[in-house]
């Protein structure tokens, strides 16, 4: 990995950071207060992203997009992490597994998604299947030329704005020495499909305005044309997606931590107690030193993982390490920032209490910290035949 950014990468960082500061920051208080993103604001963000040429920049030039590398895209996500997730959702980064579309799926789903004409959402988690994906009960069975789907998905982010969904559904079961093992298939499901309903989810303290929804399937019929990838090949496309989203969580955690640190640093330099800025007291200055060291470490760990992906190197452990460390680092940094601000840190005069609440979910979604530790330790032990 080359340390230090190229001129083009510096331009990416500068452009996206400026966009977040000008187009995202001004609306954050409204979204935090109401829990909603007004339609006109969402459309304005989307159109300005399209005008910049950054919409679907995680997709290749072959479909008319910017074709950013994993490393370059990580820089984009890092800057977006500074802003409200509910608002930067409309910056537009469709699920990259849409590249698995074939035939007329490309014109129905892939191309409208990258052009900003249709928005997608991904549905995997169920009430009884979170970390244990193979425990899913949402199932599809053959009936003539169709699949009939029954079951429920929950914690589905972005479902309130999605025009179609990438849904992972059990399509069979194999007997293995370790017991029954579900076969999983990915399906493309349009909003409004008979037997498919979307309802409100749970009220979360994290990322207000970025809603989670519940999807219900009641004898919902899907033809073979709606299968994304191969029947029973859901894990293949799932793994492609998991790499990208775990890096996203890591990079956005770094971006948010840097914004939080800026607040803490400025406050420590300006706030006076006992006749001097509180930053002069080691109880505060040492916290600042620890915060920036952890942020820089998480940043380098994350960019190195993205760089390995670009080079085609094995990256599963490195991506898990980045997601684990960066998400937990964000929790420590936001907590320290509040401590430096004292009682004011918990008041809504500052956005720190929001960042503190938002940070908590990063250790859970897209693979819990415990799952990341499992991936890391399994990779280490397998090399020794254990």
Domains of the chain in sequence order: 7-93 (1.10.540.10), 120-231 (2.40.110.10), 244-383 (1.20.140.10)
Q: How confident is the model at residue 242 (pLDDT cuts 50, 70, 90)?
A: low
Average pLDDT over residues 237-244: 72
Nearest 5°: the CA angle 337, 339, 17 is: 10
Task: Look at residue 146 and tell me whether its pLDDT is greater than 90.
Answer: yes
Q: What is the pLDDT of residue 235?
A: 81
Q: pTM for this structure?
A: 0.93
Residue 179 Cα distances to 130, 134, 173, 174, 357, angstroms? 19, 12, 10, 8, 40
Quick one: what percent of the chain has pLDDT higher than 70?
Answer: 98
d(CA 54, CA 73): 10
Q: What is the pLDDT of residue 238?
A: 78
Task: Look at residue 241 and tell me whether its pLDDT is greater than 70.
Answer: no
Q: How confident is the model at residue 2 (pLDDT cuts 50, 70, 90)?
A: low
Helix (H, G, I), strand (E, B) or coil at 255: helix
Task: Report the number of secondary-structure helices (H) and strands (E) in the chain.
Answer: 12, 10
Helix (H, G, I), strand (E, B) or coil at 240: helix
141, 148 contact by CB (below 8 A)? yes
Nearest 5°: the CA angle 304, 293, 319 is: 25
């Amino acid at each position: 990995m080359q340390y230090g950014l190229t001129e083009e990468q510096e331009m990416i960082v500068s452009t996206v950071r400026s966009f977040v500061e000008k187009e995202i920051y001004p609306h954050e208080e409204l979204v935090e207060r109401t829990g909603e993103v007004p339609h006109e604001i969402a459309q304005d963000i989307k159109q300005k992203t399209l005008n910049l040429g950054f919409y679907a920049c995680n997709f290749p030039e072959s479909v008319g997009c910017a074709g950013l590398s994993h490393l370059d895209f990580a820089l984009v996500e890092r800057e977006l992490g500074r802003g409200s997730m509910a608002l930067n959702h409309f910056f537009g980064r469709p699920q990259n597994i849409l590249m698995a579309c074939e035939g007329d799926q490309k014109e129905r789903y892939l191309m409208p998604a990258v052009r900003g004409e249709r928005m997608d959402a991904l549905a995997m988690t169920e009430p009884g299947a979170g970390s244990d994906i193979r425990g899913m009960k949402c199932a599809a069975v053959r009936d003539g030329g169709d699949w009939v789907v029954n079951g429920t998905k929950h914690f589905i982010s972005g479902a309130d704005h999605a025009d179609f969904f990438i849904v992972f559904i059990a399509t069979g079961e194999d007997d293995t020495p370790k017991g029954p093992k579900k076969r999983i298939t990915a399906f493309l499901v349009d909003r409004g499909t008979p037997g498919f309903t979307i309802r409100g989810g749970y009220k979360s303290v994290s990322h207000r305005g970025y809603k989670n929804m519940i999807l219900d399937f009641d004898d919902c019929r899907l033809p073979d044309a709606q299968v994304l990838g191969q029947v029973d090949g859901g894990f293949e496309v799932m793994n492609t997606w998991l790499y990208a989203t775990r890096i996203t969580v890591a990079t956005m955690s770094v971006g948010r931590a840097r914004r939080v640190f800026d607040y803490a640093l400025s406050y420590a330099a300006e706030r006076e107690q006992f006749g001097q800025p509180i930053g002069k007291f080691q109880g505060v200055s040492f916290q600042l030193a620890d915060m920036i060291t952890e942020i820089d470490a998480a940043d380098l760990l994350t960019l190195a993982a993205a760089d390995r992906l670009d080079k085609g190197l094995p990256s599963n452990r490195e991506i898990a390490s980045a997601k684990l460390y960066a998400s937990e680092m964000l929790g420590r940094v936001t907590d320290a920032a509040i401590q430096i601000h004292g009682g004011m840190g918990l008041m809504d005069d500052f956005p720190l209490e929001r960042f503190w609440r938002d940070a908590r979910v990063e250790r859970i979604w897209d693979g819990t910290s415990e799952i990341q530790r499992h991936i890391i330790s399994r990779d280490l032990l397998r090399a020794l035949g254990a």
